[in-house]
Amino acid sequence: MGAGTPPESEAAMDLAEEHRQWISRNHYECGHEMHTCLGRMYVSDHRFTENFDKVGPGLAGYLRDAILANAERHG
């Protein structure tokens, strides 16, 4: 995101996929549908948005867009 890479890029989608797999390994099975729900929650719930956006303004939306693009790629 900081380098201007679009969320629909291979690099961003690959990172979204790593994020999904990390959740599956460490917390619970997280299929692409569940992951897209999480991505939407990251922007619809201000608590998540505020946390992500502390790292970088707009990160919550960028992550959501990368997650959605990744799910479409695997759909």
Tokens 């917390």 found at: 27
Residue 10: band (very low, low, confident or very high) from pLDDT cuts 50, 70, 90: very high
Residue 48 has a pLDDT of 97
Query: For the chain, which residues make up each domain, given as ranges?
Result: 10-74
Residue 41 has a pLDDT of 98
What is the CATH code for 10-74? 1.10.490.50
Residue 39 has a pLDDT of 98
Sign of CA pseudo-dihedral 14, 34, 27, 61 = positive
Mean pLDDT to the nearest integer, 5-15 = 98
**pLDDT tens profile 25-67:** 999 999 999 999 999 999 999 999 999 999 999 999 999 999 9
Residue 44 has a pLDDT of 98
